[in-house]
Amino acid sequence: MTKIAIILGSTRPGRAGERVAQWVLTQARQRGDAEYDLIDLAELDLPQIDEPFPPAMGRYTHPHTQRWATTVAAYDGYVLVTPEYNHSFPGVLKNALDRVYAEWNNKAVGLVSYGVDGGVRAAEALRPVLAALQLADVSAQVVLNLRTDFADFGATFTPGQHQGPALTAMLDQLLSWSDALAQTRRGAVPATP
């Protein structure tokens, strides 16, 4: 069965992302079409990049990087749940993405962003990073606005009725691309950046 990781890309105390990621996980698991797991970057031991070799070399020397590489490699696709901080995505998410390389290649990713303007700038800032990692980002995405999908500036999460269909569309594309790219990975020669 296709395996999809929902990666919560914020570690801020009191973050709205926990509620968003749980909503994505609950909705996704109700589909029954893939195995969905939640990975919370706040629960991982991923210090700032401390490897002596570039990730593209695949020579991970630290146990925390080796564990992360094994985790990333275990999935066929990903949903990144990201807030928008200062017109971009959090550094902790960038660190997690940059830490390994080949483990991301030829896989699909969907985006769920949130913020005052729906986190759209975070999603757009992510796209070139994802492309550099050879991750295929699907066009359908979920955009959650702090003004309309949350109350008390993020304390309460009540997604609008249109958000369920938006999530369904994104997951549909993600699974289709994940399955197609699995064929590519089976015949792929290891890539270099």
Provide mean pLDDT across the span 143-158: 91
Round the average pLDDT of the chain to a whole number and report it: 95
Provide mean pLDDT across the span 155-176: 97
pLDDT 10s digits, 105-140: 999 999 999 999 999 999 999 999 999 999 999 999
Give the pTM: 0.95
Residue 187 burial by Cβ neighbours in a 10 Å radius (0-12, 13-18, 19+) = exposed
Provide mean pLDDT across the span 150-155: 83
- Provide the pLDDT confidence category of residue 155 given band limits of 50, 70 and 90: confident
Query: In whole angstroms, what is the distance from residue 148 CA to residue 110 CA?
Result: 22
Q: What is the pLDDT of residue 153?
A: 72
Query: In whole angstroms, what is the distance from residue 168 CA to residue 160 CA?
Result: 14
Q: What is the pLDDT of residue 193?
A: 57
Does the pLDDT at position 190 exceed 70? no
Query: In whole angstroms, what is the distance from residue 178 CA to residue 138 CA?
Result: 10
Contact 61, 110 (CB under 8 A): no
Q: What is the pLDDT of residue 76?
A: 98
CA 67 to chain centre: 17
Q: What is the pLDDT of residue 188?
A: 66
Task: Please report, rounded to a whole number, the percentage of residues in the chain having pLDDT higher than 90.
Answer: 91
- CA dihedral (40, 88, 28, 43) in degrees, to 10, reads 0
Taken in order of first residue, the domains within the chain and their CATH numbers are 3-187 (3.40.50.360)
pLDDT 10s digits, 27-79: 999 999 999 999 999 999 899 999 999 999 999 999 999 999 999 999 999 99
Q: What is the pLDDT of residue 160?
A: 96
